[in-house]
Amino acid sequence: MYFWQKENQYSATVMGESLKKLIELISEWLTRIGITGPLGQIFHVAILMAFLMILGFFIDRVTRVVLVSIVHRLVRRTTTTFDDILLEKGVFRKIAHLVPAVVVFYMIPHVFGGIYAGVEDEAVLKIITGWIEFFRDATSVYMIIIGVMVIIAALNAANLVYNQSMDIAGRVPIKGYIQVLQFILVVIAFVWTLSIFFNFHLKGFFTGLGAFVAVLVLVFKDTLLGLVASIQLSVNKMVRIGDWVTIPSRGADGTILDITVNTVKIENFDKTITTLPTYSLVSEHVQNWRGMEESNGRRIKRFVTIDMGSVHFCTEEQLDHLEKIGLIREYIQSSRKQIKMDQAKYGADPSLPGFGSNLTNLGIFRKYLEMYLRNHPKINQEMTFLVRQLQPSEKGIPIEVYVFCTDKEWEHYENIQSDLFDHILAIMPEFDLRVFQGPSGQDMRQFAAQR
């Protein structure tokens, strides 16, 4: 190894003389208390290791106090938020832990470099070599772990800065990408640690890794699926944090709070939290209401069912009555004129139903609804606007209102929709129309009483 050097290399370093003096003092002390020979040499190494650990602990404490205090002062003086977030995420505190490890790692060859010169017993040399290699490897692993923790904390800080300062953060979240990068870093650190302790080359490890791909895919199935799904969600802009989504298969209906590689958190409107795998946003039916929220209206699509038995041609008296309604007065007057012209042209008998008048109470009612909605202040006149008759069934004739409300706030939207259909139900008797409704218990009792 590179730190197994001869005495002249050991003495040539900057701190070599001081360390050499320390080693000589330790040797003299061990000899003075009667610990000599192989046992003394082993004790010698153990004491030096303890010295390095104590030195590392001391440097760690000093570095944390000095570095963190200096950083605190600098952060308070700056106006940017990035350094505040780095401080909040503990990046500088973790870097302080890295300093003593680096110092100890680079002192190992200088501290132990001269030990080998006086060791003649092969067994003792083997023990000492094993101890020193383990100490060096443990220090290396500690630096790897702290380094990965620093990078992970810095990435989390970068994500927080991105979310707070970038306008596109809501549309293009990067948390999924950052978590993927963090996962890769953890895997690399894990494999690197194994290669240090078990002394194998990373190239050979990754070459043989292909034999375990099937097992890895099985174990990390959710993570891999979530990784692919998070990339698809970001690239295709399918969903983003803050979107209102409905996922019927999962019973979720609310706002997305967070999207990670593995999970998605949705706050439902009843304030419960639904957590589901990220890949379910790609593999299952998801209704995203973002388009409605970004548009100029929220759709009202509801119908009332008319009793077929109440539909008939209007009499002149009924037309005179309905003509008093301002919204449809012009429509009825122009229609009556046109009907009279048609009767004269074709010689139709006005007394016959269907020939004397082509106006039905249901048709006039539909026209009334159209005019009523055209004059409603909360209905968007530029978007789809329909008052239509659907397929009749054994339950009557459905008259559907298909319009868009300009007020998209849920509470206001529901109130407007309710007020609209309250009016529809209340005005129907003026047109001599009845709503179809299945018989209730009271209806059955009245029927039995009449019999």
In this predicted structure, what is the pLDDT of residue 389? 93
Q: Where are the domains of the chain?
A: 7-165, 299-450
CB of 264 closer than 8 Å to CB of 281: yes
Contacts of 203 (CB under 8 A, 6+ apart): none
The residue with greater pLDDT, 188 or 170, is 188
Give me the half-sphere count of Cα atoms (radius 13 Å) on the Cβ side of residue 59. 18
pLDDT digits (tens, 9 = 90+) for 46-76: 666 677 777 777 777 777 777 777 777 777 7
What angle, rounded to 10 degrees, do the helices at 37-77 and 122-165 form?
10
How many Cα neighbours within 13 Å face the side chain of 110? 18
Distance CA 398, CA 424 (A): 13
| pTM recorded for the entire structure | 0.52
Asked if the model's pLDDT at residue 447 lies above 60, the reply is yes
Ramachandran sector of residue 314 (left: φ over 0; alpha: ψ -120 to 50; beta: rest): beta
Top-confidence range, 1-15, 85-99, 278-292: 278-292
pLDDT of residue 356: 54
Out of 65-69, 77-81, 298-302, 432-436, pick the least confident. Answer: 77-81
More confident residue, 29 or 238: 238
At 330 the pLDDT is 92
Task: Say how many C-beta atoms besides its own lie within 10 A of residue 103's C-beta.
Answer: 16
Res 244 pLDDT > 90: no
Residues 356-406: tens digit of each pLDDT:
557 899 999 999 999 999 999 999 999 999 999 999 988 899 999 999 999
Tell me which DSSP letter residue 396 carries. B
pLDDT tens digit sequence for 3-29: 333 333 433 344 445 555 555 555 555
Using pLDDT thresholds of 50, 70 and 90, give the confidence band for residue 431: very high
pLDDT at 127: 63
Distances 136 to 13, 42, 142 between C-alpha atoms, Å: 19, 16, 10
Average pLDDT, the chain: 77
Are residues 252 and 276 in contact, defined by beta-carbon separation less than 8 angstroms?
yes
Distance CA 448, CA 427 (A): 30
Q: Which residue has the higher pLDDT, 267 or 138?
A: 267
Q: What is the dihedral of CA 435, 437, 441, 445, to 10 degrees?
A: 60
Best-predicted range by mean pLDDT (32-46, 80-94, 249-263): 249-263
Highest mean pLDDT out of 125-134, 195-204, 359-368, 437-446? 359-368
User: Which of 302, 298, 303, 301 has its CA nearest to residue 411?
Assistant: 298
Amino acid identity for residue 168 in this structure: I
The radius of gyration of the chain from alpha carbons, rounded to an integer in Å, stands at: 42
Task: Check: CB of residue 169 under 8 Å from CB of residue 240.
Answer: no
SS3 string, 110-131, reads: HHHCCHHHHCCCHHHHHHHHHH
What pLDDT is attached to residue 24?
56
Q: Cα 410 from chain centroid? A: 23
Q: What is the pLDDT of residue 424?
A: 94
Which residues share a beta bridge with 300?
403
Q: Measured between alpha carbons, how far is 387 from 370 in angstroms, rounded to an integer?
A: 6
Least confident of 268-272, 348-352, 417-421, 442-446: 348-352
Mean pLDDT of 82-87: 71
User: In this structure, what is the dihedral angle of CA atoms 34, 35, 38, 42, given to the nearest 10 degrees?
Assistant: -170
Give residue 15's pLDDT: 47
Look at residue 179 in the predicted model and tell me its pLDDT: 75
* pLDDT score for 243: 86
Helix (H) or strand (E) holding 338: helix 326-346
- pLDDT at position 404: 94
Q: How far apart are CA 376 and CA 370, in angstroms?
A: 10
Interval 127-148: pLDDT, tens = 666 667 777 788 888 888 888 8
